[in-house]
Amino acid sequence: MADLSDHFDGQRFFNPWGSSAKGLLDVLRWKLAGGAEPWPSRVLDSPAPPLPELGPGQFSATFLGHASLLWRLPGLTVLTDPIFSERASPFSWIGPARVRPAAFGAAGLPPVDAALVSHNHYDHLDLPTLRSLAARGVETAVTPLGNGKTLRGAGFKRVIELDWWESADIAGGRVTLTPAQHWSSRSPFDRNRALWGGFRMEAAGRSAFFPGDTGYGPHFKMIRDRLGPVDLAALPIGAYEPRWFMASMHMDPYDAVQAHADLGARASAAMHWGSFRLTDEGIEAPLRRLETAREHLYRYEDHGGTAVAARELGVDEHAVIKTLVMEDDKGAPLIVLMHGDREVSLKELARQTGARSIQPCKPETASKHSGYLVGGTSPFGTRKPMRVFVEATVLDLDRIWINGGSRGFLLGMAPAVLSGLLKAAPVQAGLA
């Protein structure tokens, strides 16, 4: 049993920055509302390209589908949340069906030092896949507290359970479990009995980051502050609608871009979309929204402005989930501070500020200006004129390289390049 901590009460784990709990009534409200976009029954991509040859000091991440990635760092090769099954379910005949096949299965993998399993949901901890990996010689699994018994039952000889911020040495590298904002359950009776998290991987001076399933929160900045910037991150962009239900547990593309900035990542690639239909958005909606997010959402260094704003509104600085610079229909800038577990639509922001419309601020007008701070309790009910100085920094990730096209959606590529790659082979991204 884990010791009492800021995320464990002696019986169950919890999110220290806010609850992601949703009950049966919430589920019924979601399902009865309708509005889910249709998905195709099957999508077949081009065959996966061969894995790239890596030179000294190079490493790569290959997106296999959903949250399954093959990470090859110097001296360390790991799989994150591998699932090659046709359903994300405890049953073979019911549950979310796979729409887009995995790039390749266990038979196509190089030697793997460890499987990293972020939490126990069926689309991330898939026992048939894990059994096949153990049978093929993968001896080690690393996972958060409470999942060890399940992974030992899958056949792994060495199972390492970690609490947040704990590390384990694997082959020629080190793996650290990082915080995430999510929950766990494999049955109606074990909710939050096991921990969830992400993984920071380090080997030969290179670093990579896999957050698992997570909503956006202050933990991304905490990870950077505690462990330093990261070379390459994979960030989830799908399973986000409806936002009133999903925001606390799954990021959307705007959140992913902000998380990229919070992490100080040199480059990031998108994951957790287009394989299993889990929520209401269409199969390619995350791609379209990510392109918009990349063009319009920037990292703001506010020199303490967020803390000042939070004090003015009487909210906890650590509860702030997003700081945006927007503009109204007349081009006047607006500082928008969002907090709590509810996101606010542009239409609602316009109503609160008295503008006809609200849209992301253009880069050329985003730097060093004053505006309105929108905030208050959820739902947001106050508007305070306030001078907040910010400096917008456009994300520049030209150092990323691609091998074989992209089924994933790279945050660091120009939209013109992306448009020709959306239906190509799986992403293979790396840094020289």
Residues 156/186, Cβ–Cβ less than 8 Å: no
Which of 348, 325, 350 is CA-nearest to residue 336?
A: 325
What's 135's DSSP letter? Answer: H
- Bridge partners for 405 per DSSP: none
Which pairing describes strands 358-360 and 320-328: parallel, antiparallel, or unpaired?
antiparallel
Strand, coil or helix: 402: strand
- The structure tokens 């991330």 sit at 124
For the chain, helix, strand, coil in percent to 5 are 20, 25, 55
Q: What's residue 41's pLDDT?
A: 93
Helix axes 253-263, 219-227, angle to 10 degrees: 20
- Bridge partners for 65 per DSSP: 68
pLDDT in single tens digits along all 432 residues of the chain: 577 899 999 999 999 987 667 888 888 998 888 889 999 999 887 777 777 777 777 788 888 889 999 998 889 999 999 999 999 999 989 999 999 988 888 888 999 999 999 999 999 999 999 999 999 999 999 999 999 999 999 999 999 999 999 999 999 999 999 999 999 999 989 999 999 999 999 999 889 999 999 999 999 999 999 999 888 888 999 999 998 889 889 999 888 888 887 888 877 888 899 899 999 999 988 888 887 776 554 433 344 555 655 665 566 666 665 566 667 777 766 666 665 544 556 676 677 667 787 776 654 554 444 344 444 333 333 444 333 333 322 223 332 333 323 333 333 332 222 222 222 233 444 443
Q: What's residue 185's pLDDT?
A: 93
- The alpha carbons of the chain give a radius of gyration, in whole angstroms, of 21
Residues in contact with 422: Cβ distance below 8 Å, sequence separation at least 6, in sequence order: 284, 287, 406, 409
Q: What's residue 81's pLDDT?
A: 97
Delimiting residues of CATH 3.60.15.10 domain(s) in the chain: 40-296
Rounded Cα–Cα distance for residues 215 and 246 (Å): 8
Q: What's residue 415's pLDDT?
A: 28
Q: What's residue 311's pLDDT?
A: 63
Which of 154, 127, 147, 138 is CA-nearest to residue 79?
A: 138
What's 287's DSSP letter? Answer: H
Q: What's residue 309's pLDDT?
A: 56
Fold of the domain built from segment(s) 40-296: Metallo-beta-lactamase; Chain A (3.60.15)
Here the tokens at position 7 are 């995320």
- Bridge partners for 178 per DSSP: 198
Dihedral angle computed from the Cα positions of residues 308, 341, 212 and 209, in that order, rounded to the nearest 10 degrees: -10
Here the tokens at position 335 are 């500082």
Taken in order 30, 33, 34, 35, the sign of the CA dihedral is negative
Here the tokens at position 48 are 């996966």
